[in-house]
């Protein structure tokens, strides 16, 4: 049963990335990242409030759709604003921070 939560999360995360790239180009990557963070926090709260399994599956699917805006667009935004010579070290620090945040959050 728990595999459904992981499957829905992964599928929703992957499909949602297809939509956030064009949204970031249209409205600005930084703005879409900010709204994605707010929406991701709200859906995480929703995941904690649901009382049944089907609600959890739907909340995690929605949560992964909002989370899909953060990491790929953050990397793209840094690619836009950081000079090429400094980009590798900045992206490395971003990814280390994300991995530490994910691992401590668990």
How many independent structural domains does the chain possess? 1
Give dist(CA 48, CA 100) in Å, integer.
Answer: 22
Tens digits of residue pLDDT in 39-55: 999 999 999 999 999 89
Q: How confident is the model at residue 6 (pLDDT cuts 50, 70, 90)?
A: confident
Q: Return the structure tokens found at 54.
A: 């089907």
Place of tokens 């829905």: 8
What per-residue confidence (pLDDT) applies to 73?
Answer: 92
Q: Does pLDDT of 106 surpass 80? A: no
| Domain interval for residue 13 | 2-105
Tens digits of residue pLDDT in 75-86: 999 999 999 999
């Amino acid at each position: 049963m728990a595999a459904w939560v992981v499957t829905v999360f992964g599928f929703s995360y992957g499909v949602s990335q297809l939509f956030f790239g064009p949204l970031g180009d249209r409205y600005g990557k930084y703005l879409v990242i900010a709204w994605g963070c707010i929406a991701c926090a709200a859906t995480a709260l929703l995941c904690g409030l649901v009382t049944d399994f089907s609600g959890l599956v739907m909340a995690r699917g929605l949560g992964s759709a909002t989370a899909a805006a953060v990491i790929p667009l953050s990397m793209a935004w840094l690619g836009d604003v950081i000079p090429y010579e400094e980009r590798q070290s900045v992206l490395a620090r971003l990814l280390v921070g994300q991995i530490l945040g994910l691992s401590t959050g668990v």
